[in-house]
């Protein structure tokens, strides 16, 4: 039997240390194809390129024995091109994204190019894992992450993953002996409070530089933020369905209030109450 096919990408660029560490583990389990941005693409979210051409070329940034391509587009572009062009219709058995410099816990999943690349793969039905290391240094030592990467890659290849799901994995910046293990969590209800630094360029033109602070007002102990603060690796199973299912039933009053007078549902339609019972 052929070995599993593993697609590897990131948002820090093909020369980043995190993707090299991820590729080394992926090669233990299967055939690896790397498609990654040719420059850093952090905080690109689920952006795609539609207004300019995308350029892709082979790269030896990860060594001559790794089939790798660098892409001028976003992390999501990388996954789309891999699936539609470079793999000629063959579907990867697993997509790995990262290892990212810095946290992608809580609300960061919406901004992250790392997790958006994994999300794009999951939209295609590919089991996907995004890995992030809470260390922002360019010379970060990713070796502390590798046992958890290895364990989760083996777990997903053996057990599969629910359709439309992906794992958002964050690893605390601690010595290996101080990490207490792995916790399966929910996403913390936390947010960024934005601030902008104002200045002028040499020509006197005003500009603004985004700064801010991360605020976690979620005091419950079952969140990714709590796990990371207490020395655990966090794993949040995530989906791309952004429906607020809790609000569906309560919003039926709006649906009824906007129904034109005299218009009734046909008898062959399933009642709204029945449709919403599953939620």
**Is position 224 annotated in a ligand binding site?**
no
Strand (E) or helix (H) holding 229 = helix 224-229
If we measure between CA atoms, which residue out of 137, 142, 136, 114 comes closest to residue 41?
A: 114
| Residue 105 to residue 65: CA distance in whole angstroms | 33
| Residue 109 to residue 102: CA distance in whole angstroms | 12
**Please, are residues 77 and 94 in contact by the beta-carbon 8 Å criterion?**
no
**Is position 257 annotated in a ligand binding site?**
no
Burial of 165 (0-12, 13-18, 19+ CB in 10 A): middle
**Is position 104 annotated in a ligand binding site?**
no
Residue 39 to residues 58, 209, 259, Cα–Cα distance (Å): 14, 20, 52
Q: What is the largest CA-CA distance in the chain?
A: 71
**Is position 122 annotated in a ligand binding site?**
no
**Please, are residues 72 and 38 in contact by the beta-carbon 8 Å criterion?**
yes
Annotated binding-site residue numbers for a divalent metal cation? 11-12, 42, 100
Annotated binding-site residue numbers? 11-12, 42, 100
């Amino acid at each position: 039997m052929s070995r599993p096919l593993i697609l590897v990408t990131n948002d820090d660029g093909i020369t980043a240390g995190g993707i090299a560490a991820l590729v080394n583990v992926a090669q233990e389990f299967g055939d690896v194809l790397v498609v990654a941005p040719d420059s850093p693409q952090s905080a690109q979210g689920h952006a795609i390129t539609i207004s300019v051409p995308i350029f892709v070329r082979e790269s030896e940034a990860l060594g001559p024995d790794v089939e790798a391509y660098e892409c001028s587009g976003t992390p999501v572009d990388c996954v789309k091109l891999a699936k539609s062009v470079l793999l000629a219709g063959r579907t990867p058995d697993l997509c790995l994204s990262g290892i990212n410099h810095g946290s992608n816990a809580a609300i960061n999943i919406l901004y992250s190019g790392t997790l958006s690349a994994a999300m794009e793969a999951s939209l295609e039905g590919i089991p996907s894992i995004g890995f992030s290391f809470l260390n922002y240094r360019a010379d970060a030592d990713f070796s502390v992450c590798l046992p958890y990467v290895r364990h989760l890659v083996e777990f997903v290849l053996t057990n599969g993953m629910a359709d439309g799901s992906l794992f958002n994995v964050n690893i605390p910046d601690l010595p290996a002996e101080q990490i207490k293990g792995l916790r399966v969590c929910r996403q913390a209800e936390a947010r960024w409070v934005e601030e902008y630094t104002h200045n002028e360029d040499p020509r006197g033109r005003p500009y603004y530089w985004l700064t801010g602070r991360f605020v976690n007002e979620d005091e419950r102990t079952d969140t990714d933020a709590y796990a990371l603060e207490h020395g655990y690796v966090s794993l949040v199973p995530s989906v791309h369905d952004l429906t607020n299912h809790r609000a569906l039933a309560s919003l039926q009053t709006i649906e009824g209030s906007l129904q034109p007078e005299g218009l009734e549902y046909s008898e062959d339609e399933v009642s709204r109450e029945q449709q919403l019972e599953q939620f």
